[in-house]
Amino acid sequence: MFQTTREILQSADEGDLVRLRGWVYRKREFRDKIFIMLRDSEGVVQLVFSGQLAEDARKLNIESSIIVEGIVKVEPRAPGGKEVHVTRILWSYIGEPFPINVSAAQADSEYLLDVRHLWIRSRKMWAMLRIRHTVFNAIHEYFRMNGFYEVQCPIFVSAAVEGGATLFPVKYFDRTVYLTQSAQFYLEALIFSLEKVYTVAPSFRAEPSRTRRHLTEFWHAEAEMAWSNMYDVMKISEGLICHIVRRVLDERLEELSILGRDVEKLEKVRPPFPRVLYDEAIEILKKKGLNVEWGSDLGADEERILMQEFETPIHLYGFPEQIKAFYHKNDPQDPKRTLSVDVLAPEGYGEIIGGGERIEDPNQLIEKIKRFGLDPKDYDWYIDLRRYGSVPHAGFGLGVDRLVMWICGLDHIRDAVPFPRDIRRVAP
């Protein structure tokens, strides 16, 4: 029977005989006594080796693995207030000198990406991974609580969702297919069976983006709802974000603190999010002296400047037709505008959700596909969905890695993912 480091710190009593297993996180050597910070999946606790055991412990390099038996001591000088005085080393594996040192870790260097398979052992990565775990769990919780069915969509696809977006070609027997960039079209098909559906899956974008919020492979949480409109998307998406943030605040305070996250800022994330019409955003930016006109897309700088006005995420809605993909439904009251909505995260993190109402009329859809310079033949089955009992419907996609990046307060999306894939990096 083994105890975790967390169990030692939380519930073990003075004098308890315990067994622990883990890795050497830090080692502090003296003549006849050695302190080792033992790391496991739950945390870190101090071990004390003395006498002959100190001589054995001296051989352990950083990240060596070890199983020990010892006696719990309440000790104010120990990190966490308790430590384990080792009485037996039951097993050990003396690792080679660990190649990551303190200065490399502080520098947040490229080297850490080269040795990412080892760096994921670090406290920072550990904290992020645990928060990420909670985020993914909360996504499933929220959708299931709200009557959505989870579905699975193909990764190999034969046509683009976004007209212009770049796809990764894949050799597929004697022809070329592509890696999916969104499950949206499949989700739209599935609402005719299940009405409210969601999926959490990777999406792939071959755009040569070199920014701190782009990956070529990212995790996409997408939902689609029959009998729904743009305002339903706003309600569900803000409910989702708030539920996720609440869960992280409830379960992961220690991890947020390790990452140095300002928890106060996350506490402010409560519904409803401000609803900002695209036109208002343009006005705000003009007042701030930016040269933006109705119809132009908001770049990263504009987004950042706009979000200085807000402390929570916002719904930015009603984008002009020309800056949104063809499938967005135009506003019948104002046809040059679409019933589209993005969620922008505060603190400069930008767009985390994109969505809106879809065109349900087949003729309107065909007409818009043509107007966008695309070929309706490429969207054959997608148009077909509208021919057999079409319904108003809407949906959205959440960039889960961007959400994790924001919640953790990270500088780069790469650090929101254990093994990031970007324009150049595909290893480890």
Partner RNA sequence: GCCGCCGUAGCUCAGCCUGGUUGGAGCGGCGGGCUGUUAACCCGUAGGUCCCGGGUUCAAAUCCCGGCGGCGGCGCCA
**Torsion angle (degrees, nearest 10) of CA 190, 360, 231, 204:** 50
Site for RNA in 304-333 (CB under 7 A): 323, 325
> Measured from the CB atom, is 210 or 287 closer to RNA?
210
Report the C-alpha gap between 285 and 275 in whole angstroms. 16
Question: C-alpha angle 295/301/304, rounded to 5°?
Answer: 105
# residues near RNA by CB under 7 A? 73
What DSSP letter does each residue of 13-68 carry, written as one string?
-TT-EEEEEEEEEEEEE-SSEEEEEEEETTEEEEEEEETHHHHHHHTPPTT-EEEE
Candidate list 1, 13, 15, 106; residue touching RNA; CB under 7 A: 106
Candidate list 48, 240, 259, 394; residue touching RNA; CB under 7 A: 48
The CB-of-411 to RNA minimum distance in angstroms stands at 7
Q: Which stretch binds RNA (CB under 7 A): 120-128, 171-179, 207-215, 266-274?
A: 207-215
Candidate list 318, 354, 356, 395; residue touching RNA; CB under 7 A: 354
The packing angle between helices 230-251 and 123-145, to 10°, is 140
Site for RNA in 370-399 (CB under 7 A): 397-399
Candidate list 7, 412, 418, 419; residue touching RNA; CB under 7 A: 412
Q: Is 402 in the site for RNA (CB under 7 A)?
A: yes
- Draw the binding track, 209-248, toward RNA (x: CB under 7 A; -: no contact): xxxxxxxx-x-x----------------------------
**ω into residue 428 within 30 of 0, thus cis?**
yes
Q: Is 425 in the site for RNA (CB under 7 A)?
A: yes
- Draw the binding track, 51-80, toward RNA (x: CB under 7 A; -: no contact): ----------xx----------x-x-xxx-
Cβ contacts of 205 within 8 Å, gap of 6 or more: 165, 166, 181, 214, 216, 218
The CB-of-386 to RNA minimum distance in angstroms stands at 21
Candidate list 4, 42, 67, 111; residue touching RNA; CB under 7 A: 111
The CB-of-322 to RNA minimum distance in angstroms stands at 10
Q: Is 35 in the site for RNA (CB under 7 A)?
A: yes
Candidate list 186, 401, 406, 407; residue touching RNA; CB under 7 A: 401
366: alpha, beta or left, given left = phi > 0 and alpha = psi -120 to 50?
alpha
8 A C-beta contact, residue 389 and residue 207: no
Report the C-alpha gap between 205 and 218 in whole angstroms. 8
Site for RNA in 137-176 (CB under 7 A): 162, 164-165
Would strands 33-40 and 43-50 be described as parallel, antiparallel, or unpaired? antiparallel
